Protein backbone atom coordinates (compact mmCIF):
# COMPACT_ATOMS: atom_id res chain seq x y z
CA UNK A 1 0.00 0.00 0.00
CA UNK A 2 2.76 2.39 1.01
CA UNK A 3 4.73 1.49 -2.10
CA UNK A 4 1.66 2.17 -4.29
CA UNK A 5 1.14 5.62 -2.70
CA UNK A 6 4.81 6.43 -3.15
CA UNK A 7 4.67 5.35 -6.82
CA UNK A 8 1.57 7.54 -7.47
CA UNK A 9 3.27 10.55 -5.89
CA UNK A 10 6.39 9.95 -7.99
CA UNK A 11 4.31 9.72 -11.21
CA UNK A 12 2.52 13.00 -10.31
CA UNK A 13 5.87 14.76 -9.82
CA UNK A 14 7.10 13.51 -13.22
CA UNK A 15 3.84 14.67 -14.87
CA UNK A 16 4.10 18.11 -13.31
CA UNK A 17 7.72 18.42 -14.43
CA UNK A 18 6.85 17.47 -18.03
CA UNK A 19 3.85 19.83 -18.04
CA UNK A 20 5.99 22.74 -16.81
CA UNK A 21 8.64 22.04 -19.43
CA UNK A 22 6.03 21.88 -22.21
CA UNK A 23 4.52 25.20 -21.04
CA UNK A 24 7.95 26.88 -21.00
CA UNK A 25 8.69 25.72 -24.57
CA UNK A 26 5.28 26.93 -25.84
CA UNK A 27 5.76 30.29 -24.08
CA UNK A 28 9.26 30.90 -25.42
CA UNK A 29 8.23 29.91 -28.96
CA UNK A 30 5.30 32.30 -28.70
CA UNK A 31 7.54 35.18 -27.62
CA UNK A 32 9.99 34.33 -30.40
CA UNK A 33 7.23 34.29 -33.02
CA UNK A 34 5.84 37.55 -31.68
CA UNK A 35 9.20 39.28 -31.90
CA UNK A 36 9.70 37.97 -35.45
CA UNK A 37 6.25 39.12 -36.50
CA UNK A 38 6.61 42.53 -34.84
CA UNK A 39 10.28 43.54 -34.62
CA UNK A 40 11.11 46.79 -32.80
CA UNK A 41 11.76 49.17 -35.68
CA UNK A 42 14.32 51.96 -35.12
CA UNK A 43 13.16 55.58 -35.34
CA UNK A 44 13.49 56.88 -38.92
CA UNK A 45 16.09 59.60 -39.52
CA UNK A 46 14.29 62.85 -40.41
CA UNK A 47 16.71 65.66 -39.58
CA UNK A 48 20.42 66.48 -39.55
CA UNK A 49 21.53 69.16 -37.08
CA UNK A 50 24.91 70.81 -37.63
CA UNK A 51 27.28 72.72 -35.41
CA UNK A 52 29.23 75.29 -37.46
CA UNK A 53 32.70 76.14 -36.11
CA UNK A 54 35.03 73.18 -36.48
CA UNK A 55 32.22 70.88 -37.70
CA UNK A 56 30.90 72.26 -40.98
CA UNK A 57 34.17 74.06 -41.61
CA UNK A 58 37.69 74.28 -40.20
CA UNK A 59 37.15 77.77 -38.92
CA UNK A 60 39.32 77.85 -35.83
CA UNK A 61 42.62 78.88 -37.45
CA UNK A 62 40.87 81.83 -39.10
CA UNK A 63 39.15 82.73 -35.83
CA UNK A 64 42.56 82.67 -34.11
CA UNK A 65 44.14 84.93 -36.73
CA UNK A 66 41.14 87.28 -36.52
CA UNK A 67 41.46 87.51 -32.72
CA UNK A 68 45.15 88.41 -33.04
CA UNK A 69 44.39 91.03 -35.70
CA UNK A 70 41.76 92.58 -33.43
CA UNK A 71 44.17 92.70 -30.47
CA UNK A 72 46.69 94.50 -32.67
CA UNK A 73 44.06 96.99 -33.90
CA UNK A 74 43.20 97.76 -30.25
CA UNK A 75 46.91 98.34 -29.41
CA UNK A 76 46.90 95.34 -27.06
CA UNK A 77 50.14 93.40 -26.77
CA UNK A 78 48.24 90.09 -26.72
CA UNK A 79 49.02 87.38 -29.26
CA UNK A 80 47.47 83.94 -28.87
CA UNK A 81 49.54 80.98 -30.07
CA UNK A 82 47.91 77.84 -31.51
CA UNK A 83 48.56 75.98 -28.22
CA UNK A 84 47.09 78.81 -26.15
CA UNK A 85 44.04 79.01 -28.41
CA UNK A 86 43.52 75.24 -28.17
CA UNK A 87 43.19 75.65 -24.40
CA UNK A 88 41.06 78.79 -24.71
CA UNK A 89 38.57 76.89 -26.87
CA UNK A 90 37.45 75.18 -23.66
CA UNK A 91 35.62 78.48 -23.11
CA UNK A 92 32.71 78.65 -25.56
CA UNK A 93 31.99 82.00 -27.21
CA UNK A 94 34.34 84.67 -28.51
CA UNK A 95 33.47 87.39 -25.98
CA UNK A 96 33.58 84.89 -23.12
CA UNK A 97 37.02 83.75 -24.35
CA UNK A 98 38.37 87.32 -24.40
CA UNK A 99 36.98 87.96 -20.90
CA UNK A 100 38.47 84.70 -19.58
CA UNK A 101 41.91 85.52 -21.00
CA UNK A 102 41.78 89.09 -19.72
CA UNK A 103 40.89 87.92 -16.21
CA UNK A 104 43.74 85.40 -16.35
CA UNK A 105 46.18 88.19 -17.28
CA UNK A 106 44.79 90.68 -14.82
CA UNK A 107 42.58 89.31 -12.01
CA UNK A 108 41.61 92.92 -11.06
CA UNK A 109 39.96 93.52 -14.42
CA UNK A 110 36.48 93.08 -12.90
CA UNK A 111 37.01 96.36 -11.04
CA UNK A 112 36.81 98.35 -14.32
CA UNK A 113 33.85 100.65 -13.74
CA UNK A 114 30.84 101.90 -15.67
CA UNK A 115 30.63 99.03 -18.12
CA UNK A 116 34.15 99.81 -19.43
CA UNK A 117 35.05 96.12 -19.43
CA UNK A 118 32.00 95.14 -21.48
CA UNK A 119 32.53 98.04 -23.90
CA UNK A 120 36.14 97.05 -24.50
CA UNK A 121 35.31 93.38 -24.98
CA UNK A 122 32.52 94.30 -27.41
CA UNK A 123 34.91 96.52 -29.37
CA UNK A 124 37.57 93.79 -29.62
CA UNK A 125 34.94 91.26 -30.64
CA UNK A 126 33.48 93.57 -33.29
CA UNK A 127 36.92 93.99 -34.87
CA UNK A 128 37.56 90.27 -34.61
CA UNK A 129 34.26 89.47 -36.36
CA UNK A 130 35.09 91.90 -39.19
CA UNK A 131 38.56 90.37 -39.60
CA UNK A 132 37.06 86.85 -39.63
CA UNK A 133 34.45 87.77 -42.25
CA UNK A 134 37.18 89.20 -44.43
CA UNK A 135 39.15 85.94 -44.16
CA UNK A 136 36.03 83.97 -45.17
CA UNK A 137 35.41 86.29 -48.13
CA UNK A 138 39.05 85.87 -49.13
CA UNK A 139 38.53 82.08 -49.30
CA UNK A 140 40.61 81.01 -46.28
CA UNK A 141 37.73 78.98 -44.79
CA UNK A 142 36.21 75.97 -46.54
CA UNK A 143 33.74 73.25 -45.58
CA UNK A 144 35.30 70.09 -44.15
CA UNK A 145 35.59 67.02 -46.43
CA UNK A 146 32.25 65.37 -47.15
CA UNK A 147 30.04 68.15 -45.74
CA UNK A 148 28.93 69.70 -49.04
CA UNK A 149 28.10 66.26 -50.48
CA UNK A 150 26.15 65.26 -47.36
CA UNK A 151 24.11 68.49 -47.37
CA UNK A 152 23.35 67.99 -51.06
CA UNK A 153 22.37 64.34 -50.57
CA UNK A 154 20.19 65.09 -47.54
CA UNK A 155 18.54 67.94 -49.42
CA UNK A 156 17.67 65.66 -52.35
CA UNK A 157 16.37 62.99 -49.97
CA UNK A 158 14.02 65.53 -48.39
CA UNK A 159 15.57 65.44 -44.93
CA UNK A 160 15.22 68.47 -42.69
CA UNK A 161 18.44 70.30 -41.89
CA UNK A 162 19.12 72.73 -39.08
CA UNK A 163 22.01 74.68 -37.63
CA UNK A 164 22.60 74.68 -33.89
CA UNK A 165 25.52 76.92 -33.03
CA UNK A 166 26.31 79.61 -30.53
CA UNK A 167 28.42 81.57 -33.00
CA UNK A 168 27.14 84.93 -34.29
CA UNK A 169 24.69 85.22 -37.23
CA UNK A 170 27.30 87.33 -39.08
CA UNK A 171 29.90 84.55 -38.86
CA UNK A 172 27.41 81.94 -40.10
CA UNK A 173 26.17 84.05 -43.01
CA UNK A 174 29.71 84.88 -44.18
CA UNK A 175 30.67 81.20 -44.30
CA UNK A 176 27.42 79.87 -45.77
CA UNK A 177 27.18 82.49 -48.52
CA UNK A 178 30.68 81.61 -49.66
CA UNK A 179 30.16 77.81 -49.52
CA UNK A 180 26.48 77.34 -50.49
CA UNK A 181 25.63 80.52 -52.41
CA UNK A 182 23.37 83.48 -51.68
CA UNK A 183 20.26 81.29 -51.25
CA UNK A 184 21.95 79.18 -48.55
CA UNK A 185 19.17 79.81 -46.03
CA UNK A 186 16.71 77.81 -48.15
CA UNK A 187 18.69 74.66 -47.36
CA UNK A 188 17.97 74.91 -43.64
CA UNK A 189 14.58 74.64 -42.01
CA UNK A 190 15.89 76.32 -38.87
CA UNK A 191 18.91 78.27 -37.64
CA UNK A 192 19.56 78.69 -33.94
CA UNK A 193 22.64 80.80 -33.17
CA UNK A 194 24.25 83.10 -30.62
CA UNK A 195 21.49 85.67 -31.06
CA UNK A 196 18.66 83.24 -30.28
CA UNK A 197 20.45 80.93 -27.83
CA UNK A 198 22.73 83.02 -25.59
CA UNK A 199 23.71 80.15 -23.29
CA UNK A 200 26.87 78.69 -24.79
CA UNK A 201 27.53 74.97 -25.17
CA UNK A 202 27.80 72.72 -23.14
CA UNK A 203 24.50 74.27 -22.09
CA UNK A 204 21.92 72.39 -24.21
CA UNK A 205 19.77 75.50 -24.84
CA UNK A 206 20.63 75.78 -28.55
CA UNK A 207 19.81 72.10 -29.19
CA UNK A 208 16.61 72.15 -27.14
CA UNK A 209 15.39 75.19 -29.10
CA UNK A 210 16.35 73.53 -32.38
CA UNK A 211 14.43 70.38 -31.51
CA UNK A 212 11.40 72.42 -30.41
CA UNK A 213 11.54 74.38 -33.68
CA UNK A 214 11.82 71.26 -35.82
CA UNK A 215 8.91 69.67 -33.99
CA UNK A 216 10.40 66.20 -34.44
CA UNK A 217 11.07 63.49 -31.84
CA UNK A 218 14.69 63.68 -30.68
CA UNK A 219 15.11 60.01 -31.69
CA UNK A 220 14.48 60.99 -35.33
CA UNK A 221 17.34 63.51 -35.44
CA UNK A 222 21.12 63.32 -35.41
CA UNK A 223 23.69 65.98 -34.47
CA UNK A 224 27.16 66.67 -35.86
CA UNK A 225 29.78 68.13 -33.55
CA UNK A 226 33.55 68.56 -33.34
CA UNK A 227 34.13 69.31 -29.66
CA UNK A 228 33.57 67.96 -26.17
CA UNK A 229 31.43 70.97 -25.18
CA UNK A 230 29.31 70.59 -28.30
CA UNK A 231 28.88 66.86 -27.72
CA UNK A 232 27.83 67.47 -24.11
CA UNK A 233 25.21 70.00 -25.24
CA UNK A 234 23.81 67.64 -27.88
CA UNK A 235 23.79 64.63 -25.54
CA UNK A 236 22.12 66.65 -22.76
CA UNK A 237 19.23 67.25 -25.15
CA UNK A 238 19.07 63.53 -25.97
CA UNK A 239 20.56 63.65 -29.48
CA UNK A 240 22.63 60.89 -31.03
CA UNK A 241 25.83 62.65 -32.06
CA UNK A 242 28.55 62.00 -34.61
CA UNK A 243 31.82 63.72 -33.69
CA UNK A 244 34.42 64.74 -36.27
CA UNK A 245 37.28 66.26 -34.24
CA UNK A 246 39.82 68.64 -35.76
CA UNK A 247 43.34 69.74 -34.86
CA UNK A 248 41.98 71.98 -32.09
CA UNK A 249 39.72 69.38 -30.45
CA UNK A 250 41.32 65.97 -31.15
CA UNK A 251 42.77 65.80 -27.60
CA UNK A 252 39.30 66.10 -26.02
CA UNK A 253 37.13 63.31 -24.66
CA UNK A 254 34.02 62.30 -26.58
CA UNK A 255 32.14 60.20 -24.06
CA UNK A 256 28.69 59.27 -25.31
CA UNK A 257 29.35 59.98 -29.00
CA UNK A 258 27.51 57.72 -31.44
CA UNK A 259 30.84 57.49 -33.25
CA UNK A 260 34.00 59.52 -33.77
CA UNK A 261 35.21 59.93 -37.37
CA UNK A 262 38.20 61.89 -38.71
CA UNK A 263 35.83 63.66 -41.15
CA UNK A 264 32.87 62.81 -43.40
CA UNK A 265 34.84 62.18 -46.60
CA UNK A 266 33.25 59.21 -48.43
CA UNK A 267 30.45 59.04 -45.83
CA UNK A 268 27.06 58.97 -47.52
CA UNK A 269 23.57 59.51 -46.19
CA UNK A 270 23.06 55.72 -46.15
CA UNK A 271 26.01 55.44 -43.75
CA UNK A 272 24.56 58.15 -41.50
CA UNK A 273 21.18 56.36 -41.52
CA UNK A 274 22.91 53.07 -40.63
CA UNK A 275 24.79 54.70 -37.74
CA UNK A 276 21.60 56.34 -36.52
CA UNK A 277 19.73 53.04 -36.53
CA UNK A 278 22.54 51.29 -34.68
CA UNK A 279 24.08 49.38 -37.56
CA UNK A 280 27.71 49.76 -38.62
CA UNK A 281 27.88 51.21 -42.12
CA UNK A 282 30.34 49.94 -44.70
CA UNK A 283 32.25 53.20 -44.96
CA UNK A 284 33.02 53.53 -41.24
d(CA 50, CA 180): 15
Nearer to Mg ion, 124 or 223 (CB): 223
Q: Site map for Mg ion, 17-46, x if CB under 5 A?
A: ------------------------------
d(CA 81, CA 167): 21
Interface with Mg ion, residue 192, by CB under 5 A = no
DSSP 64-106: HHHHHHHHHHTT------HHHHHHHTTS-SHHHHHHHHHHHH-
Whole-number minimum distance, CB 104 to Mg ion, in Å?
Answer: 22
> Residue number with the shortest CB distance to Mg ion?
54
d(CA 62, CA 136): 8
Of 15-23, 30-38, 48-56, 124-132, the segment contacting Mg ion by CB under 5 A is 48-56
Instruction: Identify residues 119-148 at the interface with Mg ion (CB under 5 A).
Output: none
Instruction: Identify residues 201-240 at the interface with Mg ion (CB under 5 A).
Output: 226-227, 230
Interface with Mg ion, residue 54, by CB under 5 A = yes
Q: In the 8-state DSSP scheme, what is residue 45?
A: P
Interface with Mg ion, residue 53, by CB under 5 A = yes
Whole-number minimum distance, CB 233 to Mg ion, in Å?
Answer: 10
DSSP 247-279: TTTTTS--TT-SEE-S--TT--HHHHHHHHTT-
Handedness of CA 134, 137, 139, 144 (dihedral sign): positive
Q: Is 83 a catalytic residue?
A: no
Interface with Mg ion, residue 51, by CB under 5 A = yes
Name the residues that contact Mg ion, by CB under 5 A.
51, 53-54, 226-227, 230
Amino acid sequence: MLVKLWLNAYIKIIELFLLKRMFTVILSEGVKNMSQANPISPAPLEALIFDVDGTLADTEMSHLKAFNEAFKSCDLDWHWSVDEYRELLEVSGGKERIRHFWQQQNPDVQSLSGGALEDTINRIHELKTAAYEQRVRDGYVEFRPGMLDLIEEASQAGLQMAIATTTSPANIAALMRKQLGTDWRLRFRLIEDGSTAPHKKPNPQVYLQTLAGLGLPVANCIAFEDSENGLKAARASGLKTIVTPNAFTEHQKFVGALCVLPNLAHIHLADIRALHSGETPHAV
